Structure 1
Amino acid sequence: MKIGIREIGGGQPAYIIAEMSANHAGDISRAKEIIHAAKEAGADCIKIQTYTPDTLTIDCDNSYFHISDGTWNGENLYQLYQKAYTPWEWQKELFEEAKKAEIDFFSTPFDNTSVDFLEEIGIGFYKIASFELVDIPLIEYVASTGKPMILSTGMATLAEIDEAVEAVKKQGNHNFALLRCASAYPAITDEMNLRTMQNMGDTFGVPYGLSDHSMGSVGAVTAVALGASIIEKHFCLDRSIENPDSTFSMNPMEFKQMVHDIRQAERAIGSVKYGPSEQEKNNLQFRRSIFCVKDIQEGEKLTEENIRIIRPGYGLAPKFYKDVLGQTALEDIQKGTPLAFEMIGK
């Protein structure tokens, strides 16, 4: 996958997305501050969401539209989205702020009108949220822009993911990635099932990653160790600033530590390389080798009593031990001398 000039996939550093979502808490100044804080914390990208309560649902108060458990227990959908949405009149301004901060910026659209709006302001790529993965008409409309796409797959069956992937491909768009996601807020580690993420990559032949709603960075770092090319994490300035997403978002210090840990994990993963590393080379001397452990006179035979395999590693390699037993010293050899072929003969 390619976003702008950035290659995303095997062998490339993980692309790390800071999801602002509702963490601006209705204040555009705070939204701008989040953009700069995310850049400072090491994010490659800041993401927002483009919807209004009316593009997501209807203003209805019957039981179908009430949340009865979880983080938003007791909320009405319409009222929740009123609290959480990012005003559209902010979004071009936030896009420009991201350019100033030199951080990528993109959004999750939730209907065709939001796609049209984002096209007007020049958004370069798109995200499909897990809950919209079954909205095939929306996916087709986004894919028809020809721009890169990231699709979250929380709750999705393999068949549903396949339908979404085919919807993208039918529009001639092959520049996309899939994210494993546990659509719970917060998600628990026991239900992340990160091996599914690898299987998605193998099944569909595209870059994969993790949209992580769990607390802490264990999930994100583990995902990178399993080959994730993209990590998305909710980002806030301070969880004490109450909003619908604050309880499961990372603050700047936590996010920065996560980025550091991911980059360290990538260095540790490295590449396939046998033989001593640069750091190990000085320790080759402490391997075992064949040494003379008693004084040996010229003409005397080598025996198990006068030569041994010991540390350090300056003598003949241990694999020659049986070959040199019984051979004759061609010179006087002092105890503590590393054995060499030129010292002995048959």
Structure 2
Amino acid sequence: MIKPPASTYIIGEIGQNHNGSVEIAKQIIDLAASPVREQLFELSLKGMDAVKLTKRDLKHELSAAEMRRSYNSENSFGKTYGEHRKALELDEEQHFELYKYAKEKELDFVETLCAPSCLSLLKYFEPDRLKVASRDLTNLPLLEAMAETKIPMIISTGMSGKKELERALEVISGKHSKISILHCVSEYPTHPRHVNLNTLDYLLKNYKEYIIGYSDHTIGISVPVAAVAKGAQIIEKHITIDRCLKGTDQKGSLGKDGVRRMVRDIRLMEMSLGTEDIFVQPAVKDVKQKLERSLASKKHLASGHKISESDLHLLSPGIGFRWTEREKIVGKILKKDIGKDEIITEDYLI
């Protein structure tokens, strides 16, 4: 079993948002590596932990008819769907170049592999984690081949239920137990009614031996932040340098400001969770003294006056006696005059 990370492991999914360009991919890696600041409290926050690319082998990807299919979409990079997919595919050397670039930026590198033949990538480098795409959770030969590498694996449940998940875990755990499970909904973008974040509760309760996380396809950043609040230890989100770039995933990805805000809010969420207890934070001490109420005089009271409860009311600041401590004042004699609406302290009492 992988030791759970000390903080949420945030993966910036590049996917195909590089549009077949190593240079664009490097710019997205730069985005993932960008420092994150919270200006009000002057906090330097931990940024993203990893980027993820996808490696396909087109010989084991699509049927011949699908490869020949005409593809006239505004997002097309070729006349046929096969030409389109080929234009978006980076070769192994390019993946290695991007791996080294990510490492220079102190980022982990995660690879989604879509066929056993893609494991030939490992002759260049070993990714920090291997990802199984949602569609391949039932691709048991692929799962077995990936598991044999003993590299930690992330599986995503976007197109599968409990039965498929159990079978996948059975295959992988036969080789190793370094497995993470991501709740996911393979709807792009995912409608809020379909997210069902409570699935995280189910996974956390029933799969305690694994790291549980969330792969997000919703619009915005609120759902991944909420997932962290529910206990997700990994967050995966598509990122891009420009949401207006050509490509089917660009509009559903986070741009530069979105990446900054999501990472910021997740890190602040982690910081905000605290401990399961109720207590007064030391930081509240000054505000508590300023705003809490103390027993005070309703009217001018002369020296020698015996204080009754009818002489008292409550005013700020909280530097005197509380209402629950009024027995320390009621029945006592004033040793000096006190004006109207003044806090009664021990200095006034005989």
Shift of 1:57: 2.9
Shift of 1:337: 4.7
Shift of 1:314: 1.9
Q: CA, structure 1 residues 326+107, in 2 after alignment: closer, same or farther (shift >3 Å)? A: closer
Q: How does 1:280-299 map to 2 (within 5 A)?
A: 280-285=284-289, 286-297=291-302
TM-align CA RMSD: 3.1
Q: Deviations over 1:9-28 (max 9, x none)?
A: 4xx32211111111121222
**Structure 1 position 54 matched with structure 2 position 62:** no
Shift of 1:76: 7.7
Pick the aligned partner of 1:82 from 76, 80, 86.
86
Pick the aligned partner of 2:181 from 178, 183, 194.
178
Amino acid of the structure 1 residue aligned with 2:106:
E
Distance 2:241 2:124 in 1: 29
Amino acid of the structure 1 residue aligned with 2:241:
L
The equivalent residue for 2:171 is 167
The equivalent residue for 1:34 is 28
Q: CA, structure 1 residues 164+238, in 2 after alignment: closer, same or farther (shift >3 Å)? A: same
Q: What SS class does the counterpart of residue 248 from structure 1 fall into?
A: coil
TM-score with structure 1 setting the length: 0.83
Q: Deviations over 1:236-282 (max 9, x none)?
A: 22233313422322222321222122223223333445333344211
Distance 2:256 2:331 in 1: 69
Shift of 1:154: 0.5
Pick the aligned partner of 1:204 from 177, 202, 207.
207
Q: Deviations over 1:94-143 (max 9, x none)?
A: 21222222221120112222224336522232111111112233223322
Q: CA, structure 1 residues 254+118, in 2 after alignment: closer, same or farther (shift >3 Å)? A: same
The equivalent residue for 1:317 is 322
Poorly superposed stretches of 4+, deviation over 6 Å: none
| Contact 1:295 1:306 survives alignment (8 Å) | no
**Structure 1 position 15 matched with structure 2 position 20:** no
The equivalent residue for 2:137 is 133
Distance 1:176 1:66 in 2: 39
Q: How does 1:138-153 map to 2 (within 5 A)?
A: 138-153=142-157
| Contact 2:303 2:336 survives alignment (8 Å) | yes
Count of residue pairs brought into register by the alignment: 332
| Contact 2:297 2:342 survives alignment (8 Å) | yes
Shift of 1:175: 2.1
Q: How does 1:221-240 map to 2 (within 5 A)?
A: 221-240=225-244
Shift of 1:44: 1.7
Distance 1:177 1:119 in 2: 24
| Contact 2:131 2:153 survives alignment (8 Å) | yes
Shift of 1:78: 4.7
Q: What SS class does the counterpart of residue 15 from structure 2 fall into?
A: coil
Distance 2:254 2:67 in 1: 34
Q: CA, structure 1 residues 315+134, in 2 after alignment: closer, same or farther (shift >3 Å)? A: same
Shift of 1:287: 0.9
Amino acid of the structure 2 residue aligned with 1:178:
I
Amino acid of the structure 2 residue aligned with 1:310:
L
Q: How does 1:180-195 map to 2 (within 5 A)?
A: 180-195=183-198
Distance 1:105 1:48 in 2: 8
Distance 2:108 2:27 in 1: 15
| Contact 2:57 2:115 survives alignment (8 Å) | no
| Contact 1:155 1:183 survives alignment (8 Å) | yes
Structure 1: tracts of 5 or more residues without a match: none
| Contact 1:21 1:86 survives alignment (8 Å) | no
Q: What SS class does the counterpart of residue 328 from structure 1 fall into?
A: coil
Q: CA, structure 1 residues 62+239, in 2 after alignment: closer, same or farther (shift >3 Å)? A: closer
Distance 1:239 1:314 in 2: 56
Percent identity over the alignment is: 28
Q: How does 1:60-79 map to 2 (within 5 A)?
A: 60-61=65-66, 78=82
Q: Deviations over 1:30-70 (max 9, x none)?
A: 2223222321264321111111222223322499x999xxx
Shift of 1:186: 1.7
Q: CA, structure 1 residues 130+147, in 2 after alignment: closer, same or farther (shift >3 Å)? A: same
